[in-house]
Amino acid sequence: MNKPIPSEHDKLQSLYQQAKQPHKMPAALKRRLITECEARDKKPAAWRSWWQLSQLVMGCAAMLLLLSWMQWSPSADLYQIELAASADYQQVQYHRLVEPRAMLISQVGREERLQQLWQRQQEQLQQASSMHTRMAQLQQQEANWQLTICDELQLNLSKELVAQLQLGQSIQSYRGTQWVELELAANGQVLAIRATEQVLHCPHTKAGRRPIIRALAVAG
Amino acid sequence: MLSISLSWAGTLCPDQLMQHYQKTGASKWLDGLIQHCGDDLYHFLLRQSDPALAQDICQQTWLKVMEKRHSFRADSRFKTWLFSMARNALLDELKRQQRWLSSTCPEQLAQPEIECSQSWPVARQQRFEQALRLLPFLQREALMLQLEGFSVGQIASITNELDETVKSRLRYARRFLQARLGEHDE
């Protein structure tokens, strides 16, 4: 059987392989690399745990950042207004305080944070130019307060909200029934309640309903 | 136990060794990789530079293998990845030392026009090595990579060139070598 004639490529490859023989990678370099690899091999667990720890720390930091953003976000409203239907009033509103969901997670410094958030929201609303005042009749029903503006609006304040407004000296303590001036934000939120000597007249009171001005006169 | 592991490691191909090294980071797998590819890489770098730089780049490259073992894709060939990293490191270093331009020549310089009337060493092997040295950097690179067993596509990947460019370099290099060797084979 004849030996196959080597191609030009095979000849070159053979020459190339022979050329490589005297130029091997220095043994000292190989040893250095293996030693380095062994040194790295001995501490993979430490490296991994360091990596995992750093990931955990970064994750926690991101979570805290998100939580603080949620807590201090202007959208985290404390004040809630609910509307209800009524045959006697054009609109009935229930005003109460709600705790933003993000704040429920941590109880640490909760009260302080709530107060700060309340204060900030109040300041923002008071700075707005669309603030307006309305005359209303105030009636206290146990701890809840009810304010009425003729047959236009009945406004019910929860006891927590009353307490909060009193804490900020936005309202005084009243007894019984009396006329007040309501300071309202553009979104209908009550900012302050002040006693007034003025009396509201309701010329378009629905027939059959007791006029508020008359009731006040009776109370007086 | 270690000797058994090492001998077993010796039967695996570089891609399998790299997969084991990637998973474990154990030095025995890197040792296997160096046994397989260390000499080839060193020789390639040596032909393209000098002993000191070849050693330096060789060390850098294997250290990168250790550092970047997790970024190696299992579907790629280890030797291609290794040579690619080494080639990039070498070019960076040559550029840094301002030796890059002097190491490269335009393609047309590869035409068999170098004086050969002087007395060449009689051994064909020496003539081959001499001719290899005379090749321009990029043609020598393409030819050596092909003689290392890389396909045109793999050489294109290592050198960041188009297949056609690689083919052209190979054509010039082979023509040059044939002319050099042929003159003395007659």
Cα distances (Å, whole numbers) of residue A80 to A99, A157, A162, A189: 10, 10, 13, 8
Domains of chain B: 10-104 (1.10.1740.10), 105-185 (1.10.10.10)
Q: ipTM of the assembly?
A: 0.81
Is it the case that residue B89 has pLDDT exceeding 90?
A: yes
Mutation target vs B (from A8, A29, A35, A37; most B CBs, 10 A cutoff)? A37
| Both tokens assigned to A111 | 């009260």
Residue of B nearest to A12 (CA): B147
Cβ–Cβ gap A30/B144 under 8 Å:
no
User: Which candidate from A8, A13, A41 shows the least CB-CB separation from B25?
Assistant: A41
Predicted confidence band at B93 (pLDDT cuts at 50, 70, 90)? very high
Q: Are A164 and A192 in contact (CB under 8 A)?
A: no
Bridging pattern class, strands A144-149 and A132-141: antiparallel
Q: Touching check for B125 and chain A: CB below 8 Å?
A: yes
Residue of B nearest to A9 (CA): B147
User: Which candidate from A12, A29, A41 shows the least CB-CB separation from B59?
Assistant: A29
User: Which candidate from A18, A26, A41 shows the least CB-CB separation from B27?
Assistant: A41
Query: Which chain B residues are Cβ-neighbours of A27 within 8 angstroms?
Result: none
A209-216 CB contacts, 8 Å cutoff, 24+ apart: A209/A88, A209/A151, A212/A137, A212/A148, A212/A150, A215/A137, A215/A177, A216/A137, A216/A177, A216/A178, A216/A179
**Strand, coil or helix: A6:** coil
Terminal alpha carbon distance of chain B: 56
A215 burial type by CB count under 10 A (0-12 exposed, 13-18 middle, 19+ buried): middle
Q: Touching check for B25 and chain A: CB below 8 Å?
A: yes
pLDDT digit string, tens, across residues B38-66: 999 999 999 999 999 999 999 999 999 99
pLDDT digit string, tens, across residues B127-153: 888 889 999 999 999 999 999 999 999
Q: What is the DSSP string of A67-80?
A: HHHHHH-TTS-SEE
Q: Give the separation between CA A118 and CA A141, rounded to whole angstroms.
A: 25
Query: Which chain A residues are Cβ-neighbours of B25 within 8 angstroms?
Result: 37, 40-41, 44
| Both tokens assigned to B179 | 């002319």
Q: Are B137 and B161 in contact (CB under 8 A)?
A: no
Number of CB atoms found within 10 A of residue A78's CB = 20
Q: What is the DSSP string of A40-59?
A: HHHSHHHHHHHHHHHHHHHH
Where does A73-211 have alpha helices with state H? 101-105, 110-127, 159-167
Number of CB atoms found within 10 A of residue B87's CB = 21
Predicted confidence band at B182 (pLDDT cuts at 50, 70, 90)? confident
Number of CB atoms found within 10 A of residue B70's CB = 8
Q: What is the DSSP string of B109-133?
A: GGSS-S---SPPPSSHHHHHHHHHH
pTM: 0.53
pLDDT tens, chain A, 220 aa long: 455 666 788 888 888 998 888 899 999 999 999 888 888 877 655 566 677 788 888 888 888 887 766 655 555 577 888 888 888 888 899 988 887 665 555 566 777 777 887 888 777 777 766 778 888 888 887 777 888 888 888 899 888 888 888 877 777 767 667 888 888 888 888 888 888 888 777 766 554 444 443 333 333 3
